Amino acid sequence: MRNRGKLTLLLLLALFAALPAAAQPSCRLPQQVPVQACDRHEAPRGRSGDFDYYLLSFSWSPAFCATAAGRRSPLQCRDNRFGWVLHGLWPQYDASRGVTPSWPQYCSPVAPVPEAVLRRHLCATPDPRLLQCEWAKHGSCAGFGSAAAYFDAMAAAAARLRVPDPPAEGRGSATAMTAALVAANPGLQPAMLQVLRRDGRIRKIRVCLDSGLRDFVACKGTGSR
């Protein structure tokens, strides 16, 4: 009974602390944001609009900032302090298709994301290069007419979620993080999300949504990235 009461208290604290995901209305931005096309080179796969559901992905910024890569990211790890940041909105294939890896990518060439659009979303995704590559790799397959429409849809989907900070400053279990997410979001079930840990820390959360971005759905893809 004592352990059950402790778990209930932890969940209530998580609910109280939960804020809309990546909800940072302002942050310190550079005077100029470079506009450069995605410099990754990966083979294209699939067709725009032909997919089954979305993965909405978040990253725990303190875990990233503790790495060598994070220490090379002044916007995210020196000039600002973030909790959860919005990583991407990824079209996915259902496992029943038998496609591996289970997502389309680089479905068609795209123009670089304009600076005004980058600025509008840098307080949620504090990396211009990542935004460019998210648009090129995943946005090109999502069926939106522009980068602005894609990132606005991603932000709107994220705003529907309440994501508590991970337990034990990121060193808690995936089970506890899953329980806190389910408690904070009516309709969300464990099969509809993924909690990823690495090097003893919670690093990422992924939530599965239908292709219309209306409802949570079970995560039915295969493979990882």
Distance CA 118, CA 136 (A): 14
Q: Are 117 and 148 in contact (CB under 8 A)?
A: yes
Distance CA 221, CA 70 (A): 29
Distance CA 188, CA 96 (A): 22
Catalytic residue, chosen from 42, 121, 138, 169, is 138
Active site residue 121: no
CA 98 to centroid of chain Cα atoms: 25
Catalytic residue, chosen from 41, 87, 115, 121, is 87
Strand partners, 162: 20
Cis-peptide, bond into residue 101, ω within 30° of zero: yes
Which of helix, strand or coil describes residue 106?
A: coil
3-class SS shares of the chain: helix, strand, coil, % to 5 = 40, 20, 45
Strand partners, 52: none
Active site residue 87: yes
- Active-site residues, by number, are 87, 134, 138
